[in-house]
């Protein structure tokens, strides 16, 4: 995937700050509106509509069977919806691995369908695991607001954004649900000139087809692209002051969520990577 430039285009304004970007097999785009209580759908025909309701929807992924898994901050839950937007069941309800879940933020599945999600708490945040066999575990603890997460292509490394330390950490995976060597620094992100932690805050993560890690930098109006070795390759101005998350729709199309304040207004931006 070679590209030399990019085009940034705002495709929608919404009344609420947006999060949880996801793309389905039809290439329709979805995002959550957090305090807006809505999951919205943007089709290839460029129409945007309400798709499903949740009290305070945040991170979102689409499973291989078309189901959507959505973090709900207010209910401290992770809920499963079918492809029609109907609530099927609750996957996580207030606890995991025998401890309280306070603020489920973002989530990811591995190739076997095991679930990993962050609990965004200052100083004592966690990364949780729920296996397809029902097993539950805490993969990481005492993180300062863990946020977005993504796997390396071989799923041997789990990358996690630690927002209030302005860094991405990596967890070496021994096997699903088990860490081999604890948590290590991956990269420290660029710092806002203000020096205030809240003006940094790495948020959502994504992986491109070349295995590079992309980071939505909440307070920096940017997404950054890092090599697997931790080299900063590119920084892109998203035009969204509070940039929350991103997802690849295809090898050259990146959708970005966020907004101009919280609880709103929000926006959706499309970045097209050009040869």
Instruction: Write the CB contacts of 28 (distance below 8 Å, at least 6 apart in sequence).
Output: 41, 42, 43, 44
Question: Per-residue pLDDT averaged across 236-258, rounded?
Answer: 97
Predicted local confidence at residue 248, as pLDDT: 98
How many beta carbons lie within 10 A of that of residue 3, not counting itself? 12
Instruction: Write the CB contacts of 133 (distance below 8 Å, at least 6 apart in sequence).
Output: none
125-to-132, 138, 247 alpha-carbon distances in Å: 23, 10, 24
Question: Per-residue pLDDT averaged across 53-75, rounded?
Answer: 98
Question: Per-residue pLDDT averaged across 176-203, rounded?
Answer: 92
When pLDDT is cut at 50, 70 and 90, the band that residue 36 belongs to is very high
Instruction: Write the CB contacts of 229 (distance below 8 Å, at least 6 apart in sequence).
Output: none
d(CA 31, CA 195): 31
Q: Please write the tens of the pLDDT for every residue from 162-188.
A: 999 999 999 999 888 888 788 999 999
Q: Percent of the chain having pLDDT more than 90?
A: 94
Question: Per-residue pLDDT averaged across 256-270, rounded?
Answer: 98
Q: Please write the tens of the pLDDT for every residue from 116-162.
A: 999 999 999 999 999 999 999 999 999 999 999 999 999 999 999 99
Tokens 């330390």, located at residue: 165
Burial of residue 136 (CB within 10 Å: 0-12, 13-18, 19+) is middle
For the chain, domains (ranges, CATH) are 48-246 (2.120.10.30)
Q: Percent of the chain having pLDDT more than 70?
A: 100
Predicted local confidence at residue 177, as pLDDT: 87
What tokens were used for 110?
């591995």
Predicted local confidence at residue 180, as pLDDT: 79
Whole-structure pTM value? 0.97
């Amino acid at each position: 995937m070679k590209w030399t430039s990019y085009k940034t285009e705002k495709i929608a304004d919404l009344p609420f700050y947006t999060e949880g970007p996801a793309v389905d097999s039809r290439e329709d785009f979805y995002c959550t509106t957090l305090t807006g209580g809505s999951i919205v759908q943007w089709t290839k025909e460029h129409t945007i509509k309400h798709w499903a309701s949740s009290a305070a929807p945040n991170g979102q992924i689409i499973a291989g069977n078309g189901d959507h898994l959505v973090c709900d901050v207010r209910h401290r839950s992770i809920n499963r919806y079918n492809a029609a937007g109907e609530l099927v069941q609750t996957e996580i309800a207030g606890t995991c691995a025998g401890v309280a879940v306070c603020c489920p933020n973002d989530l990811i599945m591995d190739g076997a369908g095991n679930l990993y999600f962050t609990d965004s708490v200052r100083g004592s945040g966690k990364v949780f695991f729920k296996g397809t066999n029902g097993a539950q575990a805490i993969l990481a603890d005492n993180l300062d607001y863990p946020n977005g997460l993504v796997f390396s292509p071989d799923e041997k490394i789990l990358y996690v954004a630690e927002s209030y330390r302005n860094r991405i950490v990596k967890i070496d995976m021994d096997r699903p649900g088990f860490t081999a060597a604890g948590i290590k620094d991956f990269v420290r992100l660029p710092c806002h000139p203000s020096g205030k932690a809240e003006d940094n805050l790495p948020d959502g993560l994504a992986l491109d087809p070349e295995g590079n890690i992309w980071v939505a930098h909440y307070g920096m109006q940017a997404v950054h692209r890092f090599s697997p070795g931790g080299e900063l390759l590119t920084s892109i101005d998203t035009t969204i002051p509070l940039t929350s998350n991103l997802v690849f729709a295809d090898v050259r199309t990146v959708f970005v969520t966020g907004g101009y304040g919280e609880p709103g207004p929000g926006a959706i931006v499309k970045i097209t990577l050009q040869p």
